[in-house]
Amino acid sequence: MELWYTHLMRETIDQDSLLVQGNRACALGALDAGVRFFAGYPITPSSEIMEVMARELPAVGGVFMQMEDEIASICACIGASLTGEISMTATSGPGFSLMQEAIGYAIMAEAPTVIVNVMRMGPSTGRPTTPSQGDVMQARWGTHGDHPAIVLAASNVADMYRLTIAAVRFAQRFRMPVIVLADEIVGHMRESFSPEIAGRYRLTSGDFDFTETYIHPEMVREVHPPHELGTLIHPHVTGLIHDETGFPTNDPKKSEQFLRELHDKVVHHRGELCLYDVKNVGKGRVAVVAYGSCARSARAALKLAEQEGIPVEVLHLYTLFPLPVEIIQELARRVEFILIPELNLGQYAREVRRLAENWTTVVSMGRIDGNLITPRDIVDRLAELVGKYESA
Amino acid sequence: MAEGESSVAEQEPSVAEPRTIDHYLHTDRFPHIWCPGCGLGTVTAAFLRAALELGLEKDRTVVVAGIGCSSRAVGYLDFGTVHSIHGRALAFATGIKMAHPEFTVIVLTGDGDGAAIGGNHLIHACRRNLDITTILFNNNTYGMTGGQASPQTGMGGYATTAPFGFDEPSFDLCRLAEAAGATYVARGTSYGVRQLQKLIRDGITHPGFSFIEAVTQCPTEYGKRNPPKGPVQMLENLKEKAISRKKAEGMTPEELEGRIVTGLLHRDESVPELTASYARMLERIRKSADE
């Protein structure tokens, strides 16, 4: 496999200290993961991803298409995917809303593709150049009907590279769309990024190193073999409920079995899909659960809080969905409360609360003014809460 | 496919036994969902006869459809078939054709699917001049949802959502396609099946975006509310209204009012086809990288 730095080597920059933008790292990750079809539509703050793809994909023999809108973009990606190509698109809130129907189709038809959503403030046009994490629930439940979802969240430039690769692998293996959530901070941030730094990451669970034999479609449940249009199988692909032949069915038993299996293929592989990192395991009285740019602040807050006498455990989630149920419940048993900083009004806090409320208190720390949550903000809120629970 | 298994494509019929359109059909999926008297099957059969004439390979042909009565055709066809989402068949087809230029890609769509919800994709597909053949089944209504007005219902037409008569004009879809950049534009009817078959055949062989409007009848939903009633009467009406392009050339707009101009309406082979020009770009990049 061609390694990521081959793409960077074309730039005359000292490789030991490369400043790479998050959106660019995402595109480089896609190229290294084997993405050879990209269709997109310009939107702030994700446009750099498609700009890099426009330049780099033809050089590796891939197809880049600028489509007439985001609906056409994801539909073209699904079309390419059905022929066996590895495809991807990138967008932000308004475009992500337009893609929802087709995301449901890709889930139903079991067509792998990757959708990167660099989140900006919403609803509607909102504030296009301002970070937000307001699309978490849309990433989970945006398309209609009961459906499974795989949603990853990037917190820095290296994540943009590594999680994009992970998303491609998950999509191919589980034969469904995978959503990567970034936010404007992560997308536009420039950080030093090198093989050394990328390799330094160690996660508590899983990792980003996929073995050669990772993608075995037969390892997960299949309605029928991977579609490959233009082969002897002549598959029929449909968004209707279908049976093992691929053709529509109205049989109640088969319909329920089909939908349950779509869910089970994700839920039964939660251990493999849930990427996370936990700091200070068992050493904190309280915990912070965070993802995306807020996780950076949370990690920095850990040291600051220790200096101020508050031992804190930090759970950094890279996979938001499927929910890391066991990980959150174990944490809930150990700590007095869980604080969740996020750039929305508590979308993920509600998910954590329903998993953890039997054992601990879950406090949402939402911010929606367009500014980021700083480590200081988190420590101050922790101190406040510790005082409150001690006096109680 | 496991080794030793034979594919349908390999079971060649003998010379003495010429192929029929059953060759391209999943007859086990019959009976089809279309109503008695419906013209969609007639148009589908014209496409399949064109496919037989050209000897389209099942394994190298992908047929993409959207949502609606006409789009259900793909559920009976033995090609690689995609029953996509409402209005987006051309966007799916664009991904398929760009990823695999060697496939013959056909899009089956309706007047609601292709001209209303999918109108934006239609004009951009025409503009790109990708080698896709689009057959738009125009029956002037949304049949599957029960006879609502479509952009092609026409001024004064009746529909469940136009109970007092529709007061919006229609598109001239062929002029729309031509203006948007389609390089092969033709119109036929479900009455003139031989002409339609020829137009579709030539559209498939045309290297570029081909748009064929197939005007057809929906006695159940459109005919119920608009004269003439009944499939036979509707077909006779198509026969009377249809006029060849040649004959139409000498006629005034007033004389052409209400007529259906059929035949090859536009063909331009000077515009580069997109997959070919994309391949040339890749070649250019490869050469400059080698230097």
* Type of residue at A291: Y
By the 8 A CB rule, do B216 and B137 touch? yes
**Cβ neighbours of A37 in B, within 8 Å:** 95, 98-99
Residues A38 and A185 in one domain: yes
The pLDDT tens digits for B212-234 are 999 999 999 999 999 999 999 99
Q: What share of chain B is helix, strand, coil (3-state, %, to 5)?
A: 40, 20, 40
Better pLDDT: B2 or B263: B263
pLDDT band for position A12 (cuts 50, 70, 90): very low
Is the pLDDT score of A232 beyond 50?
yes
Residue in the structure block whose two tokens are 């067509």: A111
C-alpha distance from residue A98 to each of A117, A370, B119 (Å): 12, 23, 16
- Please give the distance of CA A239 from its chain centroid, rounded to a whole number: 24
Helix (H, G, I), strand (E, B) or coil at A370: coil
CATH class of B19-290: alpha beta
Is the pLDDT score of A7 beyond 70?
no
A113 close to B (CB below 8 A): no
C-alpha distance from residue A356 to each of A288, A327, A381 (Å): 13, 10, 20
Is the pLDDT score of B209 beyond 90?
yes
By the 8 A CB rule, do A106 and A78 touch? yes
The predicted pLDDT at position A245 comes to 84
Strands A87-91 and A113-121: parallel
The predicted pLDDT at position A211 comes to 77
Give percent of chain B above pLDDT 70.
94
Helix (H, G, I), strand (E, B) or coil at A312: strand
Q: Which DSSP state fits B101? A: T
Of A142, A170, A200, the position where a domain reaches its end is A200
Question: Do the chains contact at A58 and B281, CB–CB below 8 Å?
Answer: yes
C-alpha distance from residue B195 to each of B43, B202, B208, B212, B215 (Å): 11, 11, 21, 12, 12
pLDDT band for position B291 (cuts 50, 70, 90): confident
* Type of residue at A114: V
Confirm whether A149 is domain-assigned.
Answer: yes
Confirm whether A315 is domain-assigned.
Answer: yes
> What is d(CA A160, CA A181) in angstroms, rounded to the nearest whole number?
9
Residues A186 and A307 in one domain: no
Q: Among B80, B83, B88, whose Cβ lies nearest the Cβ of A229?
A: B80
CB crowding A144-162: b at 16 or more within 10 Å, else e: eeebbbbbbbbbbbbbbbb
Q: Which DSSP state fits B30? A: P
A31 close to B (CB below 8 A): no
Largest CA distance in chain A: 72
Residue of B3, B24, B33, B98 to mutate, testing the A interface (most A Cβ within 10 Å of its Cβ): B98
Confirm whether A35 is domain-assigned.
Answer: yes
C-alpha distance from residue A162 to each of A33, A269, B262 (Å): 9, 20, 56
C-alpha distance from residue A53 to each of A23, A36, A37, A60, A114 (Å): 10, 9, 9, 10, 14
Once rounded to an integer, what is the mean pLDDT over residues A10-17? 48
Residue in the structure block whose two tokens are 């009012």: B257
Confirm whether A219 is domain-assigned.
Answer: no
pLDDT band for position B16 (cuts 50, 70, 90): low
By the 8 A CB rule, do A88 and A168 touch? yes
pLDDT band for position A197 (cuts 50, 70, 90): low
**Cβ neighbours of A39 in B, within 8 Å:** 94-95
Give percent of chain B above pLDDT 90.
92
The predicted pLDDT at position A233 comes to 78
Q: Is the peptide bond before A248 cis (omega within 30 degrees of 0)?
A: no
pLDDT band for position A189 (cuts 50, 70, 90): very high
Residues A19 and A163 in one domain: yes
**Cβ neighbours of B1 in A, within 8 Å:** 232-233
Q: Which residues pair with B141 in a beta bridge?
A: B149
**Cβ neighbours of B92 in A, within 8 Å:** 75-76, 78-79, 82
The pLDDT tens digits for A316-345 are 999 999 999 999 999 999 999 999 999 999
Residues A184 and A315 in one domain: no
Nearest 5°: the CA angle A83, A88, A89 is 130
Residue in the structure block whose two tokens are 């089956």: B108
**Cβ neighbours of A230 in B, within 8 Å:** 59-60, 62, 80, 100, 102-103
Is the pLDDT score of A207 beyond 90?
no
Helix (H, G, I), strand (E, B) or coil at B46: helix
Give percent of chain A above pLDDT 90.
76
pLDDT band for position A6 (cuts 50, 70, 90): very low
- Average pLDDT across chain B, whole number: 94
**Cβ neighbours of B65 in A, within 8 Å:** none
Is the pLDDT score of B246 beyond 80?
yes
Better pLDDT: A299 or A245: A299
pLDDT band for position B289 (cuts 50, 70, 90): confident
Which is nearest to B56 in space by CA: B1, B125, B107, B9?
B9
Residues A307 and A186 in one domain: no
Once rounded to an integer, what is the mean pLDDT over residues A245-261? 93
| Rg of chain B in Å (alpha carbons) | 20
Residues A191 and A326 in one domain: no
Residues A300 and A195 in one domain: no
By the 8 A CB rule, do B136 and B214 touch? yes
Backbone angles phi, psi at B80, to 5 degrees: -70, 120
What ipTM was predicted for this assembly?
Answer: 0.93
Burial of A168 (0-12, 13-18, 19+ CB in 10 A): buried
| Rg of chain A in Å (alpha carbons) | 21
> What is d(CA B38, CA B75) in angstroms, rounded to the nearest whole number?
17
CB crowding A198-209: b at 16 or more within 10 Å, else e: beeeeeebbebe
Question: What CATH number does residue A139 fall under?
Answer: 3.40.50.970
Backbone angles phi, psi at A349, to 5 degrees: -55, -35
Confirm whether A214 is domain-assigned.
Answer: no
Q: Which residues pair with B149 in a beta bridge?
A: B141
The predicted pLDDT at position A223 comes to 45
The predicted pLDDT at position B269 comes to 96
Question: What CATH number does residue A367 fall under?
Answer: 3.40.50.920
Helix (H, G, I), strand (E, B) or coil at A214: coil
- B217: tokens are 């009848």
Of A138, A170, A200, the position where a domain reaches its end is A200
The predicted pLDDT at position A199 comes to 56
B interface residues, A as partner, C-beta within 8 Å = 1, 7-9, 26, 29, 58-60, 62, 64, 74-75, 78-85, 88, 91-96, 98-100, 102-103, 120-121, 124, 278, 281-282, 285, 289
How near does any CA of chain A get to the CA of B124, in Å?
A: 7
Question: Do the chains contact at A65 and B58, CB–CB below 8 Å?
Answer: no
The residue segments making up the domain with residue A320 are: 278-391
- How many domains are contained in chain A? 2
**Cβ neighbours of A239 in B, within 8 Å:** 83-85
